[in-house]
Chains A and B, each alone.
Chain A
Amino acid sequence: QKEVEQDPGPLSVPEGAIVSLNCTYSNSAFQYFMWYRQYSRKGPELLMYTYSSGNKEDGRFTAQVDKSSKYISLFIRDSQPSDSATYLCAMSRTSGSRLTFGEGTQLTVNP
C-alpha cells in the first residue's frame, strides 16, 4: 500500500468552476504538506505548503490539512484554463527530510 494516495483523474471542469483535489496518507509522522503544480513536459513547482493542521489561502488557492483524518485538500476557486496541469501532493516528516509524493491528479479547465 502506498504511503500517499491520490486519485490520478483525469479531472475536467469548465472555466470558473471550483476544483477540489485531495490526498490521503497513512504515516502519522508527516508534518509538512505541499502541493506542487506540474505543467506538461516541465518540472514540478511548489504551489503551496502547510505546516501541521489548518488552512492556508493564497489568492484563488486554499490548502487544507486534517491530520486527524490523514487527509489534505487543495481548492481552486474561479478556475482558469491556465490552471490546467498535474497537481501533486507531497509530504514530509520534517522540513529537511525526504518528500513522499502522491501520484498526481491531471486537471483540465475548459474555456
Chain B
Amino acid sequence: NAGVTQTPKFRVLKTGQSMTLLCAQDMNHEYMYWYRQDPGMGLRLIHYSVGEGTTAKGEVPDGYNVSRLKKQNFLLGLESAAPSQTSVYFCASSPGLAGGQGHYNEQFFGPGTRLTVL
C-alpha cells in the first residue's frame, strides 16, 4: 500500500496563477482532509470531505476550492494564487466513524507539497 500520496511535491507559482494539488489514498478511507502548515501557526484545516461527492469548509477555506469526485482522490484548487498561500500543504485521510465511544478515527498524512507563490 502506498498510503496517502500527493502530487506535486514542489511548485512555484506567480501571483494570479492557478493550480490543482492532487491527493490519492489507497486505504479505502471515507474521510479526507487538506491542511496547510505555516511557521508559528501549526497545522490548519482548509477543507475536508466525509465521503465521495461531499466537501466542507475548515478553519481557513478562503482562496481554495476542493472536489471529491472519486472516493480515493481529493483535489485542492487555487484559482488565483497569492503570496499568502505560500505554505506546505498536507493531505490526510481517515477511516471515518466506526466503533463506539473511545474508538479513534486516526488520520494518515501524505508527504506534503511545498508551494511558493511569488
**Which A residues are within 8 Å of any B CB, using their own CB?**
4, 6, 8, 32, 34, 41-46, 49, 51, 88, 90, 95-96, 98-99, 101-104
Contacts and interface: CB of A to CB of B under 8 A. Distances in A.
Interface string B41-78: 11111001010000000110000000000000000000
Interface of B: 4, 31, 33, 40-45, 48, 50, 58-59, 90, 92, 96-97, 99, 101-112
B4 A96 contact: no
Nearest to A98: B45
Nearest to A46: B106
Nearest to A51: B102
Contacts of B96: 96
B103 A95 contact: yes
Nearest to A4: B42
Contacts, number: 59
Contacts of A103: 40-42
A43 B40 contact: no
A44 B107 CA distance: 9
Q: Which of B45, B109, B110, B111 has the most CB of A within 10 A?
A: B109
B111 A51 contact: no
Nearest to A52: B102
B104 A95 contact: yes
A95 B42 contact: no
A48 to B, nearest CB: 10
Given A43-B4, A95-B102, A101-B44, 14 more contacts: A32-B104, A43-B109, A43-B110, A43-B111, A43-B112, A44-B43, A49-B106, A88-B42, A95-B101, A96-B96, A98-B33, A101-B43, A103-B40, A103-B42
A1 to B, nearest CB: 14
Contacts of A98: 33, 45, 48, 58-59
